[in-house]
Each structure stands twice: as structure tokens, then as C-alpha cells.
Amino acid sequence: MDGDRVEIDGGIMEGGGQILRVSTALSCLLGLPLRVRRIRAGRSQPGLRPQHLSGLEIIRDLCEGKLEGGEIGSTEITFTPGKIKGGTHIADTKTAGSVCLLMQVAMPCVLFAASPSELHLKGGTNAEMAPQIDYTVMVFKPIVEKFNFTFNCDIKKRGYYPQGGGEVVVQMSPVKVLSPINLTERGTVTKIYGRAFVAGALPIKLAKDMAAAAVRCIRKEIRDLYINIQPVREPDDQAFGTGSGIIVVAETSTGCLLAGSSLGKRGKNSDKVGIEAAEILLRNLKHGGTVDDSLQDQLIIFMALAKGVSRVKSGPITLHTQTAIHFAEQLTKAKFTVTKLEEEVPSKDTYIIECQGMGMINPNL
């Protein structure tokens, strides 16, 4: 069997956990045995972290596969997938490792399972270096559902750095095939809304300050829209530990959703947290793309699996996106082209990501 293993270099391009997520999900879907070397070679702590190991374990469990080298710090794994089955699966990072990244790796696989799935994902819901769960629910979910599937995401408990302790339950039914998406018209911004939250020992005043600072910052650029950022205190029974943060979402006339978000941490001024989120949102609105920089790379695997041509207009292509495209093309028959749009306003850095999807068909349905 070893002769047929696909070899993945986990140290090139973005060189992080994303290579692992894309390649193991596709390995599971396509039934390709995989060897990943030099895992997270470019990181300050190379090798598997609890976050990545949980992701590998849920994929292994989803398809009754075989995983070797699956321990913390390991820089090489081999994975031999089996048949994807539905049902209930639990993944627990036992740290503040992101539940949103666990969802990213598992979701493409359970779409092509034999029966409906329920994923219990435990760890951090609002963690650094990963999408916040609010982003996943408010932005990722409505856009990714354009590929013609739906899922339910129930936030049971929120968890923060350093101890995690959050839990979300994701329910989804399998599909026969994914439809391609066409997100090429940005439209005009019609709404700006969001939530600023505190949990645990932090006073609601922090949330109000984050929200007010974000509004002031956006007002400088966008004067004619009502900006509705709700300050909230997470109920004690729905949050574990102490945390704070903000997400601000812009909705456009064509149904695009773009966001900016930021997390509070000890010693970081709450105004600064609000301004950071607002500036990320404004930067995403400036480039004229239909998706923000965080969503860009998350759509690649779905575009690769869909049947037909998908087109997404975006801002500058992130390294995460280039990496996802590289490995999607290495493992599937999908073909991507990225074209810079010249006819747009010259100052704008706008691209079209086009993909001829492989047309993955669920063999179980």
C-alpha cells in the first residue's frame, strides 16, 4: 500500500495546520492513503499541537481510518482512510484549541457520509489564530450553504484561552453532490451589525467600550448607515472561563457578508480591540471583493469538490488560500485559476478565483 501513498510536504507555503486540514479531509473523501512530513515545520513549536491531533482523530473516527504518528509534537503522520460513516462523533482538544478549525476539517467529510452526522466539538470557541464561533455562524455558515447544503450549529458553551472548555454541536445531513457558487457581485453595503461580548469576571462596560470604539472608527469612513453592535455579557452557565471580544459584520445588497473581529486579552485596551475589528472590516470592504480575507481560504475545498465552475471575487489572495489551492489541486482533479481584475478601479486589488470542481459524488446516496 505504501507505494500508493500521496506524499504531502507540510512545511511549504503557509506551512501550518491548514495543510493538514485540507489534505486529511481530501484523503478521507477520496480514499487516498496519505503521508504528511515536516508538519508545521515553519512554526515556533513545530509538529502536532492538541488542536491538530484532535482534528486528525475526528477524521480517523469519521471514516474508521488508520492513523500513525498521531501524538503531540509529531512531525510526520501516515493516514489510511476507510469508508465515511455518519452518526455521533466527539472531538475534544482539551485545551483552547479552536472548535471552528475542527469544524473546518470535519465538515467536507460528513457531507459525503452515508447518513446524518452530529459532531460534538470541544475546546475554544473564541480563540486566537482561528475564526471565532460568531464568525462561523454569522458569516461562514450563510455563505458556505450556497454550495447547496445546510447545517445546524448549536453553541452549548463558550470557551476561551487558556483553558477552553467550550462546546458546539454541529448537525448535518449528507448530500449527493455540491453545487458550484458564483460570488462575483459585491453590491453596496446595506447593514453593519455585530456583537461585543464579555464572559466570566469581566464587566459589561468593556463590551460597551469595544462596541463604541468600533462604531466611532467605522463612522469615519461610512457615515450614512446605522451601525448596530450589541454589547452582551455571556450567561455564566453558557461560558467557561473569562474572555472578551467583538465581531462586526457588513451585509451587502447582493447578500455578501464581510467581517472584522478581534479578541480582548489582559493588558489590551478595550477601545483598541474595537478599533482593530473595525479596521479589519474596513480593509475588507476597500478591496471590493465579495468575501473577506478569512473566508477566502475556507471556501477552496468546497469549490474543489463541487460539480461545475465556481467563481469568487476576492481581495488580495492570502497565503492560506494559495496553500489550500495548491493541495486541493495536488489531491483532486479540480483546476483553479486566479486572475487579477484590471478593469476595476486601478487602486483596487481585486481577483477572481475560478475553479472547475471535480464533481465529487456521494457513493452512499
The annotation places the binding site at 104
Say how far apart CA 334 and CA 360 lie, in whole Å: 10
Distance CA 283, CA 340 (A): 18
Catalytic residue among 89, 120, 320, 326: 320
Single-letter code of the amino acid located at 210: M
Q: How far is CA 357 from the centre of its chain?
A: 20
Distance separating alpha carbons of residues 188 and 84, to the nearest angstrom? 42
Question: What is the rounded CA–CA span in Å between residue 310 and residue 356?
Answer: 7
345-354 as b/e, with b when 16 or more CB fall inside 10 Å? eeeebbbbbb
Cell of 248: 462586526
Where are the alpha helices (H) located in 247-292, listed in sequence order?
270-286
To the query of whether residue 320 is one of the catalytic residues in this protein, the response is yes
Contact 49, 72 (CB under 8 A): yes
Output the nine-digit C-alpha cell for 52.
Answer: 491538530
Identify whether the C-beta of residue 180 lies closer than 8 Å to the C-beta of residue 310.
Answer: yes
Binding-site members for ATP are 104
Q: Classify residue 306 as exposed, middle or buried by CB count within 10 Å of its CB (0-12, 13-18, 19+).
A: buried
Dihedral, CA atoms, 50, 25, 302, 149, nearest 10 degrees?
-90
Grid cell digits, residue 41: 515545520
Catalytic residue set: 320
